[in-house]
Structure 1
Amino acid sequence: MSITMYQASVPVLIRGLANLQTIIGKAQAHAAEKQIDPSVFTGARLFPDMLPLTRQIHIATDTAKGCAARLAAVEAPKFDDVEVTFDELHERVQKTIDYLKTFKPEQIDGSEERSITLKMRTGPIEFTGVNYLLAFVLPNFYFHVTTAYDILRHNGVELGKLDYLGRPSNG
């Protein structure tokens, strides 16, 4: 049995974002329970030269929406990266999930050899669709979701492996 580009992208990204929603929710509840200013968490970093929680979430959502759009050869919506509260971050993640749910398999399947060019600060990077998904999007997406988890866990939010992985499903 083979896996399609759609199966390897959209549902995987939606699941990761749904798990990120859970993680954000637990952090928000923890801040309220412990009477800690939520900005302590949203502005937290693992190390001074790393990006704060808010930017980790911005980048994870940008990576997800950009992936689906590029594989489908459509323009991705622009998010302004202004979300700084837990409620705003929840809304941004949900907006990304809702956007991903608009894609149909036929828009993405067959994009394995599609030429994708990313404009980076260091210059453009060329990919085929499958290489873009497997060698850039998924590692980048999981790096930022993992870093968001790690920032919150490091700051005392009670998170476990299943919060990151989500509950297994057969679907």
Structure 2
Amino acid sequence: MSLSLYNVSVPVFTRGLTILSTLLAKAEAHASETGEPLASYVEARLAPDMLTLAGQVQRASDTAKFGGARLTGASAPSFADDETTFDQLRERCSRTITYLGTLPPPAFEGSEARPVTFGGGTSKQTLPAERYVLQFALPNFFFHVTTAYDILRHKGVSVGKRDYLGPFDETSS
């Protein structure tokens, strides 16, 4: 099996968002056990100039949905970035996964060299689709998923590398 832009994007984004949603559920359970307010997790950040946990989830979601849209020429749904609870953050992950599920593999065929423009203002970039997904979309997505994981670890949530990697489906190719 050769790798396609579909194979290196949609299943990877879907898996990452599913794992992120599981991490959020573990964080909510931890908050309940410790009695710490749920909002203190959602609003937590690693440094004053970094996004909160909610912001990290929102950016991971945006990277996934816009990545899929840019690679296929589709339109991505607009989300308001107003999540303030664990339920809302998990719902955002779910809505993003649902959107990604609407992008069929054939929509990605032949798009490797298609120009993809992203960013805004002075940071606007145009790259061939293959470079976009491999050099921007995937690294950016994992930056935000990892930072969300790090915030949860910093808050004392008992998650480790296996939680971050998630389960592997032995039947998938």
TM-score bracket, shorter-length normalisation? over 0.9
Q: Structure 2: which 5+ runs fail to align?
A: none
SS at match of 1:4: coil
SS at match of 2:159: coil
SS at match of 1:6: coil
Task: Give CA-to-partner distance per residue, 1:80-134, whole Å, 9 cap, x none.
Answer: 1001100110110100011111111001122101111113242420111000000
Name the counterpart of 2:156: 156
- Residue 124 (1) aligns with residue 124 (2): yes
Name the CA distance, whole Å, in 2 between partners of 1:118 and 1:96.
19
Q: Count how many residue pairs are aligned between Structure 1 and Structure 2.
A: 171
1:41 Cα deviation after fit: 0.5
- After TM superposition, the structure 1 stretch with the greater mean CA deviation from structure 2, 144-153 or 103-112, is 103-112
- The code of the aligned residue for 1:102 comes to T
Task: Give CA-to-partner distance per residue, 1:47-90, whole Å, 9 cap, x none.
Answer: 11111100000000000000111111011111110011001101
Q: How does 1:40-119 map to 2 (within 5 A)?
A: 40-119=40-119
SS at match of 2:8: helix
SS at match of 1:27: helix
Name the CA distance, whole Å, in 2 between partners of 1:113 and 1:35.
52
SS at match of 2:119: strand
Name the CA distance, whole Å, in 1 between partners of 2:56 and 2:21.
13
Name the CA distance, whole Å, in 2 between partners of 1:81 and 1:62.
10
Name the counterpart of 1:30: 30
TM-score by length of 1: 0.97
- The code of the aligned residue for 1:51 comes to L
Note closer, same or farther for the CA distance 1:22–1:127 as it changes in structure 2 (3 Å cut).
Answer: same
TM-score by length of 2: 0.96
1:13 Cα deviation after fit: 0.5
CA contact (8 A) 1:10 1:100 kept: yes
CA contact (8 A) 1:5 1:110 kept: no
Q: Structure 1: which 5+ runs fail to align?
A: none
SS at match of 1:117: strand
Name the counterpart of 2:140: 140
Identity of aligned residues (%): 50
CA RMSD, aligned part only? 1.0
Name the CA distance, whole Å, in 2 between partners of 1:160 and 1:123.
35
- The code of the aligned residue for 1:127 comes to L
